[in-house]
């Protein structure tokens, strides 16, 4: 089984719908992150969490929210999806004090 | 905040040749510089990293060099193989007390058999 599991792997939805992307990890890491990848733009940080009670905005948090339900679970929500949120989303984890990220396989979201 | 520029955006090399990808960063306080490889359909994976107290680091066919004065670092892949074909991302962190990674925009490397 993968260390960092993202569900769903692919999702097509319509403008205005609420979408949740889920991430779970078995690495025992305390830090979790959500990144967005767009062609030619690299990886941009949406939100990050250093522990269950700690949530921080990243570079591009507008239009997104997150929930850290447990140390191993971190979900990303789009309350009202719009087409320019079409992208590949990655969850990542790291252990405190070290910046080595372990990424999930990604969730491809298409908003029509 | 930190800004990381990565060049080239695409790179094609013949199998067996060397490949070099370059990155520059803006925050002189940054002190950690990793490189990630992303294969098709997968998430990025760390392949090598370097900290600011080291000028060069090697791991078999890959090496990273760091020039803190010029604020640039490079990834070198020697004796390239088809399985090296992927997208490579550089990143920087540690500036202004931040542990967040700022990524470059990526380089798509194609190794032609």
Structure confidence by residue, pLDDT tens digits, B49-62: 998 887 899 999 99
Q: Kindly state the DSSP code that residue B106 receives in the 8-state scheme.
A: -
Q: Does B106 touch chain A (CB under 8 A)?
A: yes
Split at pLDDT 50, 70, 90, the class of A40 is confident
Q: Are strands A42-51 and A31-38 parallel, antiparallel or unpaired?
A: antiparallel
| pLDDT at residue B98, rounded to an integer | 67
| CA gap B43, B70 in Å, rounded | 31
Q: Does B53 touch chain A (CB under 8 A)?
A: no
Q: Does A34 touch chain B (CB under 8 A)?
A: no
| pLDDT at residue B97, rounded to an integer | 54
> From the candidates B43, B50, B52, which should be mutated to test the interface with A, based on the most A CB atoms within 10 A?
B43
Q: List phi, psi (to 5°) of B110.
A: -115, 125
Q: Kindly state the DSSP code that residue A84 receives in the 8-state scheme.
A: G
Q: Which helix (H) or strand (E) holds B28?
A: none
| pLDDT at residue B54, rounded to an integer | 79
Q: Which residue of B has its CA nearest to A10?
A: B41
Interface A-B: count of C-beta contacts within 8 A: 48
DSSP string, B51-102: ETT-SEEEETTEEEEEETTTTEEEEEE-S--GGG-EEEEEEEB-GGG----E
> Cα A65 to chain center, whole Å?
10
Summarize pLDDT for B3-18 with one digit per residue, the tens: 999 999 999 999 999 9
| pLDDT at residue B100, rounded to an integer | 81
Q: Does A55 touch chain B (CB under 8 A)?
A: no
Task: Map tokens 């929930």 to a residue.
Answer: A67
The token pair that represents B56 in the structure block: 């060069």
Which residues share a beta bridge with B74? Answer: B22, B65
Among A48, A100, A105, the residue with its CB nearest the CB of B43 is A105
Please determine, for residue A1, whether its predicted confidence score (pLDDT) is greater than 70: no
Is residue B42 helix, strand or coil? Answer: coil
Residue B101 to residue A101, Cβ atoms within 8 A: yes
Task: Map tokens 């570079």 to a residue.
Answer: A59
Summarize pLDDT for A50-74 with one digit per residue, the tens: 999 999 999 899 999 999 999 999 9
Residue A103 to residue B100, Cβ atoms within 8 A: no
Split at pLDDT 50, 70, 90, the class of A97 is low
| CA gap B93, A51 in Å, rounded | 20
> How near does any CA of chain B get to the CA of A40, in Å?
6
Summarize pLDDT for B68-93 with one digit per residue, the tens: 999 999 999 999 999 999 999 999 98
Is residue A92 helix, strand or coil? Answer: strand
Contacts of A56 (CB under 8 A, 6+ apart): A47, A48, A49, A50
Residue B43 to residue A44, Cβ atoms within 8 A: no
| CA gap B66, B73 in Å, rounded | 4
> Which residues in B lie closer than 8 A to residue A43 (C-beta atoms)?
44, 89, 103
| pLDDT at residue B95, rounded to an integer | 62
> How near does any CA of chain A get to the CA of B69, in Å?
23
């Amino acid at each position: 089984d993968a260390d960092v599991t993202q569900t769903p792997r692919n999702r097509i939805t319509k403008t205005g719908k609420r979408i949740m992307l889920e991430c779970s990890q078995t690495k025992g890491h305390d830090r979790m992150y959500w990144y967005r990848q767009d062609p030619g733009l690299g990886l941009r940080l949406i939100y990050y969490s250093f522990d269950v009670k700690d949530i921080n905005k990243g570079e591009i948090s507008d239009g997104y929210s997150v929930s850290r339900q447990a140390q191993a679970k971190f979900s990303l929500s789009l309350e009202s999806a719009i087409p320019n949120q079409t992208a590949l989303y990655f969850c990542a984890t790291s252990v405190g004090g070290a910046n080595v990220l372990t990424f999930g396989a990604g969730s491809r979201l298409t908003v029509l | 905040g930190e800004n990381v520029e990565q060049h080239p955006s695409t790179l094609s090399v013949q199998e067996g040749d060397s490949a070099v990808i370059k990155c520059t960063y803006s925050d002189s306080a940054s002190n950690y510089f990793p490189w990630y490889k992303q294969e098709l359909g997968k998430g990025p994976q760390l392949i090598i990293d370097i900290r600011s107290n080291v000028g060069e680091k090697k791991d078999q066919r890959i090496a990273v060099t760091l020039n803190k004065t010029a604020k640039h670092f490079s990834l070198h892949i020697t004796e390239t193989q088809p399985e090296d074909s992927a997208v490579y991302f550089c990143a920087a962190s540690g500036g202004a007390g931040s542990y967040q990674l700022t990524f470059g925009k990526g380089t798509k490397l194609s190794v032609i058999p």
